[in-house]
């Protein structure tokens, strides 16, 4: 007998088909295969249907909520806010570990990447969450830069899309040992995990070449993310985009050991190694002693393609909360959604408040010996 659930699923699939949804490009997909990116929206061309015309700013909330494609999408990716009681009920007797992306999640997307500041309210919310849950920020930025934006000492940081992690020392896979460097910081002994270290000299060369090649393209910006590089085109004129793309590709032709991926109005260049935000999430869970999937629920909030790798890992574990930040329907591995960084803020505050309300135990800072 066909269940109601199956009927609804079939109905949704038909609706999606009618609206022109397609599977997303995985974060590993090269930019070479994506044409005409410049005029697409924030998401680098994932979106189809009625919202295709969107360029730099988000549609008004009234439009979003009345848009049928968004409503359909929300059935499959319900709001983490609306599902809060269900999420926390499932977490009873388990530990939650919180993982957060930075740009587009903790800070709104802005034109100048150097000015993507986090609000004091958001900082306070993350600080509060990290008092009760082990918390890590996993960003595409360099670890130092994202730490400079966040300015919290009670969270862990992974930069360069997870290729630069500073975490407590714990036994991890022996094969990882060659990428470790012991560091002594405020939190005592920590270990730097940098699996792309051998690529550093080539990355320096690439940055120099890109700076020369893109100098004459107004608005183009090369960002040094230490183990990866971003070439921004948010402020590049539409008519200059293909020239910029051509120049970036011509530099990379001499560096076949690097991949070129597409983010939000940014071309992201990174070493072609099997290491992404998903691996970083697993690594952190392991080093923080949180690897038992029956006991630990990882919660990951992110907005971009590279976050999909982390969503996949959580889905594969079968336990946890992959939450996408998006105000438009898009293909994702996430199970839940939040509209924008403002909703992320409300959600984080609620999470901390919930934990605090039944907490007779000490805050993590005291247990883990880390400050805030």
Ligand X SMILES: O=P(O)(O)OC[C@H]1O[C@H](O[C@H]2O[C@H](CO)[C@@H](O)[C@H](O)[C@H]2O)[C@H](O)[C@@H](O)[C@@H]1O
Site residues (vs ligand X, CB under 6 A): 101-104, 109-111, 113, 116, 139-141, 223, 225, 230, 232, 234, 263-266, 268, 304, 306
- Closest contact distance (angstroms) between CB of 76 and ligand X is 23
- Closest contact distance (angstroms) between CB of 314 and ligand X is 16
User: Toward ligand X, which CB reaches closer, 224 or 286?
Assistant: 224
- Closest contact distance (angstroms) between CB of 269 and ligand X is 10
User: Toward ligand X, which CB reaches closer, 25 or 265?
Assistant: 265
8 Å CB contact between 304 and 264? yes
The CA distance from 16 to 22, in Å, is 8
Tell me which H or E stretch contains 189. Answer: strand 188-193
User: Toward ligand X, which CB reaches closer, 225 or 327?
Assistant: 225
Two tokens at 281? 């999430």
- Closest contact distance (angstroms) between CB of 154 and ligand X is 19
Looking up tokens 């000492």, which residue turns up?
153
User: Toward ligand X, which CB reaches closer, 263 or 278?
Assistant: 263
- Closest contact distance (angstroms) between CB of 7 and ligand X is 38
Residue nearest to ligand X (CB): 140
User: What are the angstrom distances between the C-alpha of 5 and each of 17, 23, 58, 175?
Assistant: 18, 22, 32, 45
- Closest contact distance (angstroms) between CB of 334 and ligand X is 14
Q: For 113, phi and psi rounded to 5 degrees? A: -60, -25
DSSP type of residue 240: G
8 Å CB contact between 265 and 77? no
Q: Name the CA radius of gyration of the chain, rounded.
A: 21
User: Toward ligand X, which CB reaches closer, 132 or 241?
Assistant: 241
* Sheet containing 258-262, strands listed edge to edge, beginning at the edge strand earlier in sequence: 221-224, 229-232, 266-271, 258-262
User: Toward ligand X, which CB reaches closer, 133 or 233?
Assistant: 233
Pick from 13, 1, 3, 25: nearest CA to 75: 13
């Amino acid at each position: 007998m066909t269940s109601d659930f199956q009927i609804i699923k079939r109905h949704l699939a038909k609706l999606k088909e009618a609206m022109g949804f397609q599977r997303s490009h995985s974060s590993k997909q090269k930019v070479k295969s994506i044409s005409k990116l410049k005029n697409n929206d924030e998401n680098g061309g994932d979106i189809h249907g009625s919202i295709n015309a969107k360029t730099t700013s988000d549609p008004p909330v009234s439009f979003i909520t009345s848009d049928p494609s968004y409503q359909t999408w929300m059935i499959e990716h319900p709001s983490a806010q609306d599902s809060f009681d269900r999420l926390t009920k499932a977490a009873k007797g388990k530990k939650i570990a919180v993982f957060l992306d930075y740009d587009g999640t903790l800070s709104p997307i802005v034109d100048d990447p150097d000015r993507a500041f986090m609000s004091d309210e958001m900082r306070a919310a993350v600080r509060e969450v990290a008092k009760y849950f082990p918390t890590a920020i996993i960003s595409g930025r360099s670890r130092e830069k994202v730490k400079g934006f966040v300015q919290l000492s009670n969270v862990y940081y992974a930069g360069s899309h997870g290729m630069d992690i500073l975490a407590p020392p714990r036994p991890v896979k022996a094969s990882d040992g060659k990428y470790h460097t012991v560091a002594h910081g405020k939190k005592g002994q920590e270990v730097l995990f940098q699996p792309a270290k051998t690529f550093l000299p080539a990355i320096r060369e690439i940055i120099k070449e890109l700076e020369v090649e893109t100098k004459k393209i107004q608005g183009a910006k090369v960002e040094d993310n230490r183990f990866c590089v971003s070439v921004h085109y948010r402020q590049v004129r539409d008519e200059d985009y293909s020239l910029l793309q051509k120049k970036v590709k011509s530099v990379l032709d001499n560096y076949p050991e690097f991949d070129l991926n597409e983010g939000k109005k940014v071309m992201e260049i990174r070493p072609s190694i099997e290491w992404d935000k998903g691996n970083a999430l697993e690594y952190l869970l392991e080093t923080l002693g949180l690897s038992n999937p029956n006991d630990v629920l990882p919660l990951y909030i992110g907005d971009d393609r590279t976050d999909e790798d982390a969503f996949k890992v959580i889905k594969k574990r079968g336990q946890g909360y992959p939450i996408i930040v998006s105000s438009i329907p898009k293909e994702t591995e996430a199970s839940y959604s939040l509209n924008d960084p403002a909703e992320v803020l409300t959600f984080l505050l609620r999470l901390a408040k919930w934990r605090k309300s039944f907490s007779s135990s000490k805050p993590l800072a005291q247990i883990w010996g880390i400050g805030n």
